[in-house]
Amino acid sequence: MNVIPFQFQNAQIRVFQRDGDTWFVAKDVATLLGYSKPRNAISMHCRGALKQGLPTESGIQEMQIIPERDVYRLIMRSKLPEAEKFEDGWLMMSSPLYERLEAIRQQVR
């Protein structure tokens, strides 16, 4: 599995393809969006969360992953300023974040 990290501000988000869809490490996204309790946010707002073994520097580790649609759920349900910044960068087609995500989608296909 080809996990591709990308940076947004000072945070790293790990992205990969699974069955033709773009998936994200759930904790990376929830932490970036400013949720103080990422696990609670994921269980409350995400419908497609799964556990997946992913390669890390210390070997394969099981992590909670979410499909792209759940990233939108986390963004839309957050009232935190970090979520607004991420939403602006994510949804604006001319933004560097949008362009980077499109490049990642192409790499992992």
Mean pLDDT (the chain, rounded): 84
Q: What is the pLDDT of residues 80-98, one digit of tens each?
A: 887 877 777 666 555 566 6
The percentage of the chain sitting over the pLDDT mark of 90, rounded to a whole number, equals 43
Residue 80 has what pLDDT?
82
Work out the end-to-end distance of the chain between its first and last CA atoms, rounded to an integer number of angstroms: 11
- Range from 14-18, 61-65, 81-85, 86-90 that averages highest in pLDDT: 61-65
Residue 105 has what pLDDT?
67
Residue 76 has what pLDDT?
86
Residue 79 has what pLDDT?
80
Residue 89 has what pLDDT?
67
Alpha-helical runs (H) found in the chain:
26-32, 38-45, 68-77, 81-91, 96-108
Strand partners, 56: 59
41 in Cβ contact with 76 (< 8 Å): no
Q: What is the pLDDT of residues 97-108, one digit of tens each?
A: 666 667 766 665
Q: Is the per-residue pLDDT at 10 higher than 90?
A: no
Q: What is the pLDDT of residues 48-57, one digit of tens each?
A: 999 999 999 9
